[in-house]
Amino acid sequence: MKFCDKIKKMLGYTYMVNLSSKEIHDLKNTHVNCNLELIVHKKFITKRMLKEYLQNGYNGCRWCMPEYNKE
């Protein structure tokens, strides 16, 4: 994770959205299979924004957010 990404995490942006695959990752519970360093089109969101993204068709990662995974 890049330095600016770590700063965002410290500021409360604890979820990363892969805009290409519409998959959400929990930065507090990452797994080696998430491959976060390979995600190019990403957005950081807060816990408050998480529910909105899930209602709009985004999916939780099967590795770090299995409770929100729809696959």
12: left (phi over 0), alpha (psi -120 to 50) or beta: left
Residue 21's pLDDT is what?
96
Is this model's pTM higher than 0.75 or not?
Answer: yes
Within a 13 Å sphere around the CA of 12, how many CA atoms are in the beta-carbon half?
5
The Cα–Cα gap between 10 and 40 comes to 21
pLDDT tens across 16-52, in order? 999 999 999 999 999 999 999 999 999 999 999 999 9
Residue 71's pLDDT is what?
77
Burial tier of 34 (Cβ tally within 10 Å: 0-12, 13-18, 19+): buried
